[in-house]
């Protein structure tokens, strides 16, 4: 079967977890598409469902997942309902993930050379060739003296270097999709800029798609072409970075970006704070999910808002999406 143009098509995805208080609806009707070679950012406060979204894509939802509906089509195959064996193949060959803490991906008792050679186990090439490729990829992520450092262990590298090693390892598998779950959150601002620029360069080089999860608006603006804004388990707005940053239409997005436009592009370590709390995901309130915290709410917000199309590729789930245009 010919592969469709899109690489990833998340369609109406909902995920719930069983908890002692009742079922927690972590994702509700999430839809998001990614093209081949595209870099898409997902932004949202802690607890809004970013990791649940990733875990759904890689088929690693926690054991207390009690409901999963919708579709996640990856290169035309539906991940929802896929057998474990096929999921493992997908994770090994086509989708790879880098995490916030590089130590979760690195084995502390093996040298990085050993680990990076091992990850190439599917390649039909000699150990010498695998080592050559390891050095090549370490050089790609600008590891100084790469060849000399192959025998060193993860603890002998700085945090920033360890994250580069993880990126090199992820790319060694030549994935179609690289998922980065807040890969720069643990790094200081200077290192973060370096890692972001590196990711963009490597993505151009290798041509994979990147799903970049972050709560740094500036990092997303710097790296991504498109962005989805999540709030309490829903995608409330999505569009090109340019449209979202210049003409946000959902009051939540507008709140996030409510600052001097010149400063948005600064890489900031914290999300702007918004008054109030996330709603209780066990007892989802009726109507708009953002209503309680929304400065623009009115009577109609007790009804669930439609997803309005503002322009091609730019959608916002708000009753006022058409009115809230920037002058």
Ligand X SMILES: Nc1ncnc2c1ncn2[C@@H]1O[C@H](COP(=O)(O)OP(=O)(O)O)[C@@H](O)[C@H]1O
The correct pick among 3, 4, 12, 19 for binding ligand X (CB under 6 A) is: 19
Point out which span in 47-55, 68-76, 236-244, 311-319 binds Mg ion (CB under 5 A). 47-55
8 Å CB contact between 166 and 105: yes
In the complex, minimum distance from the CB of residue 212 to ligand X, in angstroms, rounded to a whole number:
13
Computed on alpha carbons and rounded to an integer, the radius of gyration of the chain in Å comes to: 21
DSSP 8-state symbol, 251: H
Buried b (16+ CB within 10 A) or exposed e, 9-38: bbeebbbbbeeeeeebbbbbbbbbbbbbeb
In the complex, minimum distance from the CB of residue 51 to Mg ion, in angstroms, rounded to a whole number:
3
* Total Cβ atoms within 10 A of residue 292: 15
In the complex, minimum distance from the CB of residue 271 to ligand X, in angstroms, rounded to a whole number:
11
The correct pick among 13, 24, 146, 223 for binding ligand X (CB under 6 A) is: 24
| Residue positions counted in the chain | 327
Which class for 5: exposed (0-12), middle (13-18), buried (19 or more C-beta within 10 A)? exposed
| Residues 64-103, mask of contacts with ligand X (x by CB under 6 A) | x---------------------------------------
In the complex, minimum distance from the CB of residue 46 to Mg ion, in angstroms, rounded to a whole number:
7
Q: Rounded to whole angstroms, how far apart are CA atoms 93 and 96?
A: 8
Nearer to ligand X, 59 or 154 (CB): 59
Q: Does the footprint of ligand X cover residue 281 (CB under 6 A)? A: yes
Nearer to Mg ion, 31 or 51 (CB): 51
The correct pick among 17, 99, 212, 245 for binding ligand X (CB under 6 A) is: 17
* Total Cβ atoms within 10 A of residue 198: 17
Binding residues for Mg ion, rule CB under 5 A, total: 2
Buried b (16+ CB within 10 A) or exposed e, 166-195: bbbbbbbbebbbbbbbbbbbbbeeebbbbb
| Residues 38-57, mask of contacts with ligand X (x by CB under 6 A) | ------x-xxxxxxx-----
Buried b (16+ CB within 10 A) or exposed e, 250-267: bbbbbbbbeeeeeebeeb
Q: Rounded to whole angstroms, how far apart are CA atoms 235 and 271?
A: 17
The correct pick among 14, 29, 31, 51 for binding Mg ion (CB under 5 A) is: 51
Binding residues for ligand X, rule CB under 6 A, total: 15
Nearer to ligand X, 48 or 116 (CB): 48
Residues at the contact surface with Mg ion, assessed by CB under 5 A: 50-51
Residues at the contact surface with ligand X, assessed by CB under 6 A: 17, 19, 24, 26, 44, 46-52, 62, 64, 281
């Amino acid at each position: 079967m010919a592969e469709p143009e899109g690489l990833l098509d998340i369609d109406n995805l909902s995920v719930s977890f069983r908890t002692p208080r009742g079922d927690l609806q972590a994702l509700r009707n999430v839809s998001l598409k990614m093209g081949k070679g595209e870099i898409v950012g997902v932004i949202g406060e802690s607890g809004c469902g970013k990791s649940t979204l990733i875990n759904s894509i890689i088929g690693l939802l926690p054991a207390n997942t009690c409901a999963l509906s919708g579709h996640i089509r990856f290169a035309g195959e539906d991940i929802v309902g896929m057998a474990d064996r096929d999921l493992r193949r997908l994770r090994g060959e086509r989708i790879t993930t880098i995490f916030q803490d590089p130590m979760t991906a690195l084995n502390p008792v093996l040298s990085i050379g050993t680990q990076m050679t091992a990850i190439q186990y599917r390649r039909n090439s000699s150990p010498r060739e695998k080592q050559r490729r390891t050095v090549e990829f370490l050089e790609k992520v600008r590891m100084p003296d790469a060849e000399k450092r192959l025998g060193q262990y993860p603890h002998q590298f700085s945090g920033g270097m360890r994250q580069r090693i993880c990126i090199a390892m992820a790319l060694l598998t030549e994935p179609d999709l690289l998922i980065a779950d807040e890969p720069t959150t643990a790094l200081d601002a200077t290192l973060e800029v370096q890692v972001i620029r590196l990711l963009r360069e490597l993505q151009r080089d290798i041509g994979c798609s990147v799903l970049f999860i972050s709560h740094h608006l500036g990092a997303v603006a710097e790296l991504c072409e498109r962005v989805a804004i999540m709030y309490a388990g829903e995608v409330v707005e999505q569009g090109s970075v340019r449209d979202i940053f210049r003409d946000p239409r959902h009051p939540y997005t507008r709140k996030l970006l409510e600052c001097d436009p010149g400063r948005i592009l600064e890489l900031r370590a914290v999300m702007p704070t918004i008054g109030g709390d996330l709603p209780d995901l066990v007892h989802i309130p009726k109507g708009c999910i953002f209503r309680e915290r929304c400065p623009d709410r009115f009577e109609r917000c007790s009804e669930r808002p439609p997803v309005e199309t503002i322009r091609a590729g730019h959608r916002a789930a708000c009753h006022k999406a058409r009115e809230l245009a920037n002058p």
